[in-house]
Amino acid sequence: MGFMKDKTIRGPSYRGLYGFRIGADTFFDRKPVQNAMDKATRQALQAIGKDLRKDARNSMRRRKKPALPGQPPHVKTRNAANPSGGGLRRAIMYGYDAATQSVVVGPSPVVGANILGFAALHEFGGPQRIRNKRRVRRYRGDGGEISISRRRRPGSKRVKDWRGKRHWVNYAILRSSAQARRANRLNRQIYGKLRYTAHYPKRPFMGPSLRRRLRTFPKHWKGRVK
Residue-range domain boundaries for the chain: 7-125+201-221, 143-197
Q: Which residues contact 76 (CB under 8 A, 6 or more apart)?
A: 62, 64, 82, 85, 86
pLDDT in tens, 41-86: 778 888 888 999 999 999 999 888 889 999 999 987 665 444 445 7
79-83, 97-101, 102-106: range with lowest mean pLDDT: 79-83
Predicted TM-score of the model (pTM): 0.66
Q: Please state, in angstroms and rounded to a whole number, the distance separating the CA atoms of residues 191 and 175.
A: 23
Q: Please state, in angstroms and rounded to a whole number, the distance separating the CA atoms of residues 39 and 207.
A: 28
Sign of CA dihedral 6, 9, 10, 15: positive
Angle, alpha carbons 7-8-12 (nearest 5°): 95
Question: Which of 2-11, 46-55, 161-170 shows the highest mean pLDDT?
Answer: 161-170
pLDDT in tens, 202-220: 999 998 998 898 888 888 8
What is the pLDDT averaged over residues 130-150? Answer: 93
